[in-house]
Amino acid sequence: MSTTTLIYFWGIADNVRHAIGFAAILSLIAIFAVTAWLLIADDLIPDETRKALKKSITPLIVATVFFGTVSMLTPSSKTIAAIAIVPAILDSEVIRTDVPELYEAAKKALLDNLNSK
C-alpha cells in the first residue's frame, strides 16, 4: 500500500468507525421502534402495514449485526499507526545496531547503581 493511501486511511479510520457504529445504533433503535409500534398499536395498524412492519424487522436485524460487526473489525487510527510504523521502526538500522548496546549500558549502570548502595 502506498504511503499516501495509508496516510489517508489513517486519517479517516476513526470517522469511518464512528459512522458505521452510528448506523448500527440507528438500526437497533429502528428495531425497537417497529417492535414497540407493533406491540402497542397493534389494533390500530392496518393489516398491510402490519405485514410490512413485520417483514422490515429481519433486514433491520441483519443491518444491525452487519454494521456492528464491521464497526468492531474496522481498525482504529492507533491500530493502523501500529501496523505501519512499528515494523518500520524495528527494521531500522539504528534499532538493530545501537539499541542492544544502549540496553547493555543501561543495564550495567543500573546494576552498578544497585550494587553501590
72-101 pLDDT, tens digit per residue, is 888 888 888 888 777 877 787 877 777 788
| Distance (Å) of CA 24 to CA 8, 11, 93 | 24, 22, 45
pTM: 0.61
- Using CA atoms, how far apart are residues 117 and 100, in angstroms rounded to an integer? 26
- Using CA atoms, how far apart are residues 4 and 19, in angstroms rounded to an integer? 23
Look at the alpha carbons of 40, 44, 48, 49 in this order and tell me if their dihedral is positive or negative.
negative
- CB-CB contact of 57 with 32 (8 Å): no
Query: Residue 112 pLDDT more than 70?
Result: yes
Percent of the chain's residues with pLDDT above 70? 97
Q: What's the whole-number mean pLDDT along residues 5-16?
A: 83
DSSP secondary structure, 48-64, as one string: HHHHHHHHHHHHHHHHH
